[in-house]
Amino acid sequence: MGKTTVLIDEQLMRDALHATHLKTKKDVIEKGLRELLRRKNRELLKQDLGTFDIDLSLDELKKKRAGK
C-alpha cells in the first residue's frame, strides 16, 4: 500500500468523522472510497440490466422464488 498526500478541507473531514463515528482520517477516506465504488457499481448494474417484461403473475413469481 502506498502513501499519498492530499489536501482535504478540515471542516469536511471533521464533519465526516463526526457523522460516521470513525476514529481516523484514513478510515473516513477508505469508507468514502468504498461507498463511491459501491454506488458506481450499482449504477452500472442497473444500466446493464435495463428493463424487461416478465410474463409472470405475482403468484407464479412467488412460487418460483420459493423453489416450487
Q: Please check whether residue 1 lies inside any domain of the structure.
A: no
The total of structural domains in the chain comes to 1
Give the pLDDT score at 68.
Answer: 67
pTM: 0.66
Amino acid 52: pLDDT: 65
39 in a structural domain: yes
The domain containing residue 46 runs over which residues? 10-66
Q: Which residues of 6-32 are buried (b: 16+ CB within 10 A; e: fewer)?
A: eeeeeeeeeebeeeeebeeeeebbeee
Residue 54: inside a domain? yes
Checking if the pLDDT of 61 tops 90, the result is no
Decide: helix, strand or coil at residue 6: coil
On average, the pLDDT of the chain sits at 90
Query: What's the pLDDT score for residue 53?
Result: 66
Smallest CA-to-CA distance from 25 within 16, 38, 37, 36 is with 16
**pLDDT by residue (tens digit) across 40-60?**
999 888 887 776 667 778 888
